[in-house]
Amino acid sequence: MTSITPPDPQLKGLQARLLDFQHAMRDAGVPVAISDGMDAMRAAGVVDLMDRDVFRESLAATLTSSASHRMAFDTLFDIYFPRTHALPDEDEAPAGSAPGEGDPRDIQDFLADLIDQLMQGDDAALRAMAREAVASYGRVENADGSQSYFAYRVYRNFNLKGLLRRLMGEAGIEDDDDLVSRLMADEFEARLRRFREEIDAEIRRRQVEQRGPEAIAKRAARPLPEDVDFFSITADEQAHMRRAVRPLARKLATRLAVKRKRARDGQLDIRKTLRRALGSGGVPIDPAFRAKKIHRPELVLICDVSGSVAAFAKFTLMFTHALQGQFSRVRSFAFIDTCDEVTHLFADGDFSGGMARMQTEADLVWLDGHSDYGHAFEVFARKFRSALTPRSTVIVLGDARNNYRAANTWALKEMKEHSKRLFWLNPEPAVQWDSGDSVASDYALVCDRMVECRNLNQLASFIETIA
């Protein structure tokens, strides 16, 4: 009988962890065969386990057969094989401490250091900055929530796109058309992407320490594009979501068409019913109904396009314009601290180009470029009130974070008085409303409804209720 050679003693604990890792990958939809698992175990026996990157790539080579599986693999690898807590440059740190633990330092000091490290491109230093950001602003310990929730708590303190602009300015890059400038911009984007990946990995590491890998792995499986949170969307997920927008819009348009067809049947038409009954011996087999005139609503979108909610505004504009046929008219307005109409920028369907043109052609900044809902609403009420009619459905898109400025709810009330309905879609988790500079409740009292809207599915469900 063939005997089975027991694994090397140093691999006994690793073997159990590898089996759990493979089960988690299968649960995430990655096809991992038994033979793949055996290959992974053999690879673990010959590579240097202290070199995490080599170990990661050896498992990736044996357990993944498609590039589309790599994101799920990397996420689960960070959960089951997290980085060790200590970093090379932290030897002098007090025992049990970590960068950023305790009271967070001033955000401007942190951002200045972050810009310096991004300019240098030191991965170890960026990893330390990511740990500090999570420790200071994520507050993962002793708190329940998803990966995206804690990521949102970190990212709301700094705008990654704003950081890219600052990096370009520090490097003295002004001409985006120059080849060297484009190459440097690509390099800075790559460094920011690595920084973001380090933040996500650090959040997962802390969650695993608190609740164990199995509990976190169940939450970490990559969602479908229509379920991705607008606030924590990555560049890759944005590409997937763009491809998902039109199919989802077509599906919703079909449902709305069926809904309208059923709604057309009005009161029973006695005369037509009796005439039809003559052909069936006087039995009204096919009753006739008077057709109801279905009025398609006019849609007016008013979008905050400042950094933290720009992705939400972009995909909402894209989705609603893809559903343009379901509304009698769609007009779009954008604002940061003042408001301007941007309908014409999206007329050709090029939403990426339209968003880029919006930043240069639309009058969106009045004072300092920080969100000012009160002033934007005042400008809309003064300049664009004629866009509203008794058939208008107004949808405001934004997180209602007003930078401690005047809310000017009177302007929003005027907008409601001149329209049929007024809704507010807020991409921020409802538990965060009214925290810090949020004035969500003040505006919610004016609106017919303020709705948490964090992904495409929630957006589609809302649009279906109003179309």
Q: Is the pLDDT of residue 341 over 90?
A: yes
In a domain, 174, yes or no: yes
Cα→Cα distances 127→56, 124, 170, 263, 446, Å: 18, 5, 21, 58, 45
Model confidence over 440-457: pLDDT tens digits? 999 999 999 999 988 888
Q: Do 440 and 328 share a structural domain?
A: yes
In a domain, 312, yes or no: yes
**Predicted pLDDT of residue 28:** 77
Q: Do 330 and 458 share a structural domain?
A: yes
Q: Which domain holds residue 276?
A: 267-293
Q: Residue written as tokens 């004016």?
A: 446
Average the pLDDT over 389-402 and give the result. Answer: 91
Q: Which of 195, 223, 251 corresponds to the end of one domain?
A: 223
Q: Do 372 and 438 share a structural domain?
A: yes
Model confidence over 52-109: pLDDT tens digits? 889 999 999 999 887 767 878 888 888 888 876 544 444 444 333 444 455 667 888 8
Model confidence over 12-25: pLDDT tens digits? 678 888 998 898 88
Q: Do 299 and 181 share a structural domain?
A: no
Q: Do 430 and 358 share a structural domain?
A: yes
pTM of the model as a whole: 0.54
Which residues face 452 on adjacent strands? 426
- Higher-confidence residue of 256 and 5: namely 256
Q: Is the dihedral of CA 61, 65, 68, 71 positive or negative?
A: negative
Contacts of 267 (CB under 8 A, 6+ apart): 289, 290
In a domain, 122, yes or no: yes
Q: Do 110 and 126 share a structural domain?
A: yes
Q: Is the pLDDT of residue 3 over 60?
A: no
Among residues of the chain, what percentage have pLDDT more than 90? 21
DSSP state string for 109-121: HHHHHHHHHHHHT
**Predicted pLDDT of residue 96:** 39
In a domain, 231, yes or no: no
Average the pLDDT over 316-342 and give the result. Answer: 85
Q: Is the pLDDT of residue 305 over 50?
A: yes
Q: Do 299 and 410 share a structural domain?
A: yes
- Higher-confidence residue of 172 and 330: namely 330
Supply angle C-alpha 197, 431, 438, rounded to 5.
90
Show the 3-state SS of 267-317: EECHHHHHHHHHHHCCCCCCCCEEECCCCCCEEEEEEECCHHHHHHHHHHH
In a domain, 405, yes or no: yes
- Higher-confidence residue of 176 and 277: namely 277
Q: Do 438 and 314 share a structural domain?
A: yes
Least confident of 105-109, 285-289, 349-353: 349-353
Q: Do 318 and 375 share a structural domain?
A: yes
- Higher-confidence residue of 177 and 277: namely 277
Number of domains the chain contains: 4
Banded pLDDT at 175 (limits 50, 70, 90): low
Q: Is the pLDDT of residue 110 over 70?
A: yes
Q: Is the pLDDT of residue 327 over 50?
A: yes
Q: Do 74 and 163 share a structural domain?
A: no
And the tokens for 432? 């965060």
Q: Are strands 421-426 and 298-304 parallel, antiparallel or unpaired?
A: unpaired
In a domain, 181, yes or no: yes
**How many CB atoms are closer than 10 A to CB 1?**
3
Banded pLDDT at 386 (limits 50, 70, 90): very high
In a domain, 233, yes or no: no
In a domain, 229, yes or no: no
Q: Do 246 and 354 share a structural domain?
A: yes
- Higher-confidence residue of 142 and 90: namely 142
Q: Which of 293, 309, 334 corresponds to the end of one domain?
A: 293
And the tokens for 271? 């005369």
Q: Do 358 and 248 share a structural domain?
A: yes
Cα→Cα distances 33→64, 65, 300, 387, 412, Å: 10, 11, 52, 60, 58
Banded pLDDT at 401 (limits 50, 70, 90): very high
